[in-house]
Structure 1
Amino acid sequence: MIALYRGFLLDSFKYVIFFFNFIIYAIVLVIYSSQLFFVFCIGSVVYFAWVQMFLRIRRKLNYETFSLSVKENSATLQLIQGMQEIRLNNAEKLKRWEWENIQANVFRLGFKTLNYSQIQSAGAIFISQIQGITISFIVATLVIDGRLTLGAMLAVQYVIGQLNGPIEQWVSFFKVYRTLE
């Protein structure tokens, strides 16, 4: 219990540090360009919403997986414990087909879960890449217009990279939190 509490405190402290890190780098980005900060925030909100949308689907799939696992375990236990009765009643094929149907359902559900996971990941990567390209375009335009120097452009890219870290950590935190819900 103490180890669990200590782990919770360390995780909480880690997220507080991420929050302060985000605030500091956000202020620096606003100083460079509020337009860039706005684009970053919009992209992050869309990214977060995309992941949240799939968390609802994943929660439903997790419940289905649990339910199917119960059926699978029950069928396996019945096969093992009732081996003698199955033989005496000549029900081997029937019980095997029942078990195979459950295994086919487990496979279909695993495939469905994998598909949703891939769609979620592909969409998240797409949103992140569009955000990065848009920010790079805006920064390059600011450099060409003479409102930012090349060094400032590199600094802005660094700041954006540092802001993405806390966003990723918060998304992973909400994934874990929503899974435990």
Structure 2
Amino acid sequence: MPDKISITAFVNDAPVSASVEPRWTLADFLRGALRLTGTHLGCEHGVCGACTVLLDGAAVRSCLTLAVQINGRRVVTVEGLSPPRGLSVLQQCFRRHHALQCGFCTPGMLVTAHALLAETPCPAREQIVDAISGNLCRCTGYIPIVDAIEAAAAHPRSAGGSAS
């Protein structure tokens, strides 16, 4: 068995130090070691998008990223998108537009949408569709999700939908 590797990172703005096995995925580390279970595991091949997190601001698949790769970096999970109290504008818009049903894809969709809105605060509808095209939803359909992201981008209090 390979030796564990020590890592330090910021996860949802909190410093984290841990010893991880070289084979652990970021998803396994977040869910198992840190108990951040909002990051869902679906296909474990990077296809479904349920495990999407932000790594230094970029949306990545945590099932394809090794935990050792976050050493010295910043990770934001779906839990880190919410303000200290209540829901972010984006989350409120998802709720208002019924952009979820079973909720399995929702964390990955929210993280992907957050990354889009951080990069492109006022995206065109086609840009939203393109951004979430790598996230699979088997329940809701994509129209309410696109509507929610569009509403968050248009919200006057939101800086691209990410503020509360």
TM > 0.5 fold call: no
* Bigger fraction of residues in helix: 1
* TM-score normalised by L of structure 2: 0.27
Which has the higher relative contact order, 1 or 2, with Cα contacts under 8 A spaced 6 or more apart?
1
Q: Which has a greater percent of strand?
A: 2
What TM-score does the superposition give when structure 1 sets the normalisation length? 0.25
